[in-house]
């Protein structure tokens, strides 16, 4: 295989990719990369306002994009989105389940014991990450089943493999996402088509709008004790940048990984390999 053939593996021209949680830091970076590879992108989120820098980057790409409101916890909302996407692009080829996150009230701390975490916060975190992956996979995956081809890519977390302290619901939910990834990979291949693949990436510690000021001091920019502990356990000695996900994402979506399904790929700077000594 020569360079031209390898490059063509990452040409997504004419392919339609749905991204949930697409206006977040990681979802937005993935959307820009795939637009640059020629894809049609449906950026779906409850927040449809794009940051100015993201708008500028999207406008300079070669693919087509629509930004639509969608709630990953409401099937009617997802079905409405699917209808709009089909009307705009004609088909759905890929789904990236990037919606997720933690709830502040589902986090333990000096003033909040695990025993006192409110049920609503635990339920919200569990549902956002697990149900918010399963429901889009049902709604958009059905189109792939009918077409007998497609790719679903989930976003798990290092917390699924090695639970981080203080965030029990998030860690448990992401572990469930990894398990569901494997289950769905087998189900789609056996029941519908071996040309429908399901995989996940498990990011390590990336700075996002949600965690930036948990890991770095808002005024000084210095690491917080929690941030320092994470860096001390990351052999590469830094937090991930959004673009660090792109190699794994593009590979798992592309025909270059056509014999790969049911795996969870760590993108973590060596965090999962480090024993701490």
Q: Does some domain include residue 39? A: yes
| All residues at 6 or more sequence positions from 236 whose CB lies less than 8 Å from its CB, including other chains | 269, 270
Question: Regarding beta strands 196-203 and 64-69, do their DSSP bridges make them parallel or antiparallel, or are they unpaired?
Answer: unpaired
Same domain, 31 and 120: yes
Q: Does some domain include residue 38? A: yes
How far apart (Å, rounded) are the C-alpha atoms in residues 189 and 196?
6
Report the pLDDT value the prediction gives residue 212, as an integer from 0 to 100. 66
φ, ψ for residue 54 (rounded to 5)? -70, -40
How far apart (Å, rounded) are the C-alpha atoms in residues 125 and 68?
23
φ, ψ for residue 97 (rounded to 5)? -90, 85
φ, ψ for residue 18 (rounded to 5)? -95, 130
Report the pLDDT value the prediction gives residue 115, as an integer from 0 to 100. 97
How far apart (Å, rounded) are the C-alpha atoms in residues 120 and 105?
9
Q: Does some domain include residue 277? A: no
**Domain CATH for 34:** 3.40.50.720
Report the pLDDT value the prediction gives residue 55, as an integer from 0 to 100. 82
Same domain, 71 and 199: yes
Question: What is the separation of C-alpha 105 from the centre of its chain, rounded to a whole number of angstroms?
Answer: 22
Q: Which domain holds residue 55?
A: 3-204+241-268
Q: Does some domain include residue 273? A: no
| All residues at 6 or more sequence positions from 123 whose CB lies less than 8 Å from its CB, including other chains | none
Same domain, 116 and 196: yes
Confidence (pTM): 0.94
Q: Does some domain include residue 42? A: yes
| CA quadruple 211, 217, 223, 227: dihedral sign | negative
Domain count across the chain: 2
* Ordered DSSP codes for 78-100: HHHHHHHHHHHHS---EEEE---
Q: Does some domain include residue 276? A: no
Same domain, 251 and 188: yes
Same domain, 69 and 53: yes
Q: Indicate which residues carry an active-site annotation.
A: 170
Report the pLDDT value the prediction gives residue 207, as an integer from 0 to 100. 80
Same domain, 82 and 197: yes
46 token code pair: 């409850």
In contact, 137 and 74? CB cutoff 8 Å: no
- Nearest CA among 89, 129, 85 for reference residue 106: 129
Q: Does some domain include residue 194? A: yes
Same domain, 156 and 231: no
Reduced to 3 states (helix: H, G, I; strand: E, B; else coil), residue 263 is: coil
Report the pLDDT value the prediction gives residue 210, as an integer from 0 to 100. 65
In contact, 171 and 202? CB cutoff 8 Å: no
Q: 231-270 burial, b if ≥16 CB within 10 A, otherwise e?
A: bebbeeeebbebebbbebbbbbbbeebeeebbbbbbbbbe
Largest Cα span, the chain: 60
Same domain, 168 and 231: no
Q: Does some domain include residue 114? A: yes
Same domain, 129 and 220: no
Same domain, 41 and 162: yes
Same domain, 30 and 141: yes
Same domain, 145 and 195: yes
- Written as tens digits, the pLDDT of the chain (277 aa) is 889 899 999 999 999 999 999 998 899 999 999 999 999 999 999 998 887 778 878 876 778 999 999 999 999 999 999 999 999 999 999 999 999 999 999 999 999 999 999 999 999 999 999 999 999 999 999 999 999 999 999 999 999 998 888 999 999 999 999 999 999 999 999 999 999 999 999 999 888 766 665 677 777 878 888 888 889 999 999 999 999 999 999 999 999 999 999 999 999 999 999 988 8
């Amino acid at each position: 295989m020569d360079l031209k053939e390898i490059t063509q593996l990452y040409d997504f021209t004419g392919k339609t990719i749905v991204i949930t949680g697409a206006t977040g830091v990681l979802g937005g970076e993935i959307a820009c990369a795939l637009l640059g590879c020629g894809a049609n992108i449906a950026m779906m989120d409850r927040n449809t306002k794009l940051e100015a820098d993201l708008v500028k980057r999207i406008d300079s790409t070669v693919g087509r994009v629509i930004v639509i409101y969608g709630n990953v916890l409401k099937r009617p909302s997802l079905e409405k989105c699917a209808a709009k996407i089909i009307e705009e692009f004609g088909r759905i080829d890929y789904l990236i389940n990037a919606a997720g996150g933690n709830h502040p009230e589902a986090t333990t701390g000096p003033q909040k014991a695990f025993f006192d975490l409110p049920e609503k916060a635990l339920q919200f975190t569990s549902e956002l990450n697990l149900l918010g992956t399963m429901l889009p996979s049902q709604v958009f995956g059905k189109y792939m089943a009918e077409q007998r081809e497609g790719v679903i890519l989930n976003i798990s977390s290092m917390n699924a493999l090695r639970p981080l302290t203080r965030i029990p619901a998030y860690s448990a939910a992401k572990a469930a996402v990894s398990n569901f990834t494997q289950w769905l990979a087998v189900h789609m291949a056996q029941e519908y088509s071996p040309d429908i693949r399901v995989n996940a990436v498990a990011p390590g510690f990336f700075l996002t709008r949600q965690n930036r000021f948990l890991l770095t001091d808002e005024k000084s920019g210095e690491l917080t004790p929690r941030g320092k502990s994470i860096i001390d356990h990351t052999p590469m000695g830094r937090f991930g940048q959004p673009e660090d996900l792109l190699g794994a994402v593009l590979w798992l979506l592309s025909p270059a990984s056509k014999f790969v399904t049911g795996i969870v790929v760590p993108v973590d700077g060596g965090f999962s390999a480090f024993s701490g000594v």
